Amino acid sequence: MHEVAVSSMRDPSTIVVEGVNWTVASGDYWVVAGLQGSGKSDLLMMTAGLMPPAHGDYRLFGEPMPIFVDSRLETRLRLGLVFESGQLFNHLTVWENIALPLRYHENWSKAESAAEVQRFLASMELEPWADSTPGAMARNWQKRVGLARALILQPDVLLVDNPLGGLDLRHLQWWMNFAEGLSRGHPLLYNRPLTLVITTADLRPWRGQKRSFATIRNKRLTVLGDWSQVEVGSSELVRELLMAETVRP
């Protein structure tokens, strides 16, 4: 991204992040932190190509984004997105939600999709809910379904919006471990390391992690570096994000 400005998804006339100069290299694992309403989700949605930059130049795999034309769909599908709420189709079962990208983009039949969907159900502990609709599941599990759906096309880059928000300790630890496995090379992706960008409103679970960190505040994205640089910087925002319980509305 070069001098990129990001609009609000709710109000495209409002700029929520601007002056973004940021490069994510293959194999990177980034955590982008900011308080609620800082523009993290909007940045991620723009990165996913759901809306264009308000200003500036953004390229994915060397291609100008967003990619809407069918002839470049293959490039766009190298990027997966997990919404904070899962954004699942409530009229479909969990199995059908996960299979949807294979059915729609690859034109696989239900029988052809079965083995691949089963791998994801088993790996993410979702087998008991395969025939349930998302409304019958707790949010903890809905988030996993959204993750499975985003991964089933074997992307090269994964964007995950606030996956740890509202999770209990068990599910939080599962996400931390699973994301680490994706970064290093997970069996679901045939041990191919994945490039990750994850947003958060709470830095406490990431304390001491070997990641690349950035923050968003006052419409500006600031690249901090690794955790040692986060601690050295010790900005007011970082202190707030390390005491997230006291600043959440």
Note the pLDDT tens digit of each residue in 146-157: 999 999 999 999
Q: How far apart are CA 107 and CA 70, in angstroms?
A: 15
- pLDDT at 67 (0 to 100): 79
Alpha carbon separation from 86 to 50, 138, 160 (Å, rounded): 16, 11, 10
Pairing of strands 29-33, 212-217: parallel
Looking at the predicted structure, is the pLDDT value of residue 229 above 90? no
Q: What is the DSSP letter of 8?
A: -
Q: Residue 183: how many CA atoms within 13 Å on its side-chain side?
A: 20
- pLDDT at 234 (0 to 100): 57
Joined together, the tokens standing for residue 241 give 């994000």
Mean pLDDT along residues 27-31: 97
- Which residue, chain included where needed, has tokens 């990750």? 196
Helix (H, G, I), strand (E, B) or coil at 66: coil
Q: How far apart are CA 149 and CA 170, in angstroms?
A: 22
43 CB contacts (<8 Å, ≥6 apart)? 6, 16, 17, 20, 32, 199, 216, 221
233: pLDDT confidence band, cut at 50, 70 and 90? Answer: low
Looking at the predicted structure, is the pLDDT value of residue 240 above 80? no
Q: How far apart are CA 109 and CA 140, in angstroms?
A: 29
The closest alpha carbon to 150, from 223, 237, 193, 88, belongs to 88
Q: How far apart are CA 228 and CA 119, in angstroms?
A: 38
- Which residue, chain included where needed, has tokens 């991964």? 151
Which H or E run contains 139?
Answer: helix 139-151
Average pLDDT, the chain: 92
Query: How much is the pTM?
Result: 0.92
Q: pLDDT of 84-127, one tens digit each?
A: 988 999 999 999 999 999 999 999 999 999 999 999 999 999 99
87 burial class (0-12, 13-18, 19+ CB within 10 angstroms)? middle
124 in Cβ contact with 179 (< 8 Å): no
- Which residue, chain included where needed, has tokens 């994205």? 221
Looking at the predicted structure, is the pLDDT value of residue 247 above 80? no
Looking at the predicted structure, is the pLDDT value of residue 246 above 70? no
